[in-house]
């Protein structure tokens, strides 16, 4: 465990004592796909009960955590986590697939997530993110803006694609690019734009030197194809 995670865990334990049930690391830092420039620590905290004072107590240790570039943790009770599986199937399945238990119990061990809810969220996210991507391109003021738009959107789409594999009956591999390539083979998609953008995010010079206008044209076309696939399931 890194020093920053160890410090946060000890502070949370001291703050919540017996009320603290779990601290879970999830996301790219847990899966091993983090990029130094764009990755932060994503944490889920499970408490027995959540009161206003619990939020206020966490505020005391948030300043240094956020100052280091991290987002505030997600806060659930175990009961609320179970009741939210129908609303956040993508997020919870990702946590279930790639998680490290920093403290306490494993809240995902017996958590049931149904494909009906997963299909609905995949469709919702694909259509919503596609609209945002179009809006972002329409308002971009230059190639630098387009490049940032691509880099900031790629992780979300690659995450969704892992779960599209589930919907077509394929167990997704841990690595997002592996999942992308399998989906491309199964459904006749061209993965090249996604791979280029992923490499952009990693800071690859060759990828960063490519024309973002050409890349986004192919990117939008392939996202539309995947959106139609999910829409027709």
pLDDT digits (tens, 9 = 90+) for 100-128: 999 999 999 889 999 999 999 999 999 99
CA distance 153 to 130: 10
* CA 38 remoteness from chain centre: 13
Percent with pLDDT over 70 in the chain: 96
CB 154 within 8 A of CB 198: yes
- Mean pLDDT throughout 19-32? 85
Q: Crossing angle of helices 176-187/143-167, nearest 10°?
A: 70
Q: Is the pLDDT of residue 84 over 90?
A: yes
Q: Which residue has the higher pLDDT, 194 or 68?
A: 194
Output the pLDDT for position 78: 93
- Which tokens in the block code for residue 149? 């738009």
**32: helix, coil or strand?**
coil
CA distance 55 to 52: 5
Mean pLDDT value across the chain: 91
Q: Is the pLDDT of residue 1 over 90?
A: no
Q: Which run of H or of E encompasses 229?
A: helix 212-231
Output the pLDDT for position 54: 86
- Which tokens in the block code for residue 129? 């993110």
**24: helix, coil or strand?**
strand
DSSP category for residue 172 = P
Q: Is the pLDDT of residue 40 over 80?
A: no
| Domain ranges (residues) in the chain | 3-104, 115-231
Beta strands in 93-160 (DSSP E): 99-104
CA distance 164 to 200: 24
Residue 176, Cβ neighbours under 10 Å: how many? 22
Report the range of poorest mean pLDDT among 27-36, 86-95, 124-133. Answer: 27-36
CA distance 103 to 47: 12
Tell me the pLDDT tens digit for each residue of 152-209.
999 999 999 999 999 999 999 988 999 999 999 999 999 999 999 999 999 999 999 9
CA distance 233 to 231: 6
* CA 127 remoteness from chain centre: 17
DSSP category for residue 36 = T
Would you identify the CATH topology of the domain 3-104? Beta Polymerase; domain 2 (3.30.460)
Band of residue 36 on the pLDDT scale cut at 50, 70, 90: low
Output the pLDDT for position 35: 53
């Amino acid at each position: 465990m890194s020093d920053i995670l160890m410090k946060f865990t000890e502070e949370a334990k001291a703050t919540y004592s017996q009320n603290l049930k779990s601290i879970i690391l999830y996301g790219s830092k847990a899966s091993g796909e983090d990029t130094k420039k764009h990755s932060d620590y994503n944490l889920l905290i499970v408490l027995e009960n959540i009161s206003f004072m619990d939020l206020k107590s966490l505020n005391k240790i948030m300043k240094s955590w956020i100052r280091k570039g991290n987002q505030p943790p997600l806060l659930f009770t175990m009961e609320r986590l179970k009741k939210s599986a129908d609303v956040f199937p993508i997020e919870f399945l990702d946590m279930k697939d790639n998680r490290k238990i920093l403290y306490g119990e494993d809240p995902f061990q017996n958590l049931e997530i149904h494909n009906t809810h997963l299909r609905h969220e995949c469709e919702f996210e694909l259509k919503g993110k596609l609209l945002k991507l179009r809006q972002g391109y329409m308002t971009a003021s230059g190639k630098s803006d387009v490049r940032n738009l691509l880099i900031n959107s790629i992780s979300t789409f690659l995450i969704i694609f892992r779960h599209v594999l589930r919907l077509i009956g394929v167990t997704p591999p841990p690595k997002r690019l592996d999942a992308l390539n399998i989906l491309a083979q199964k459904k006749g998609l061209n993965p090249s734009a996604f791979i280029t953008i992923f490499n952009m995010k990693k800071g690859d010079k060759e990828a960063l030197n490519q024309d973002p206008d050409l890349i986004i044209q192919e990117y939008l076309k392939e996202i539309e194809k995947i959106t139609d696939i999910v829409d027709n399931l």
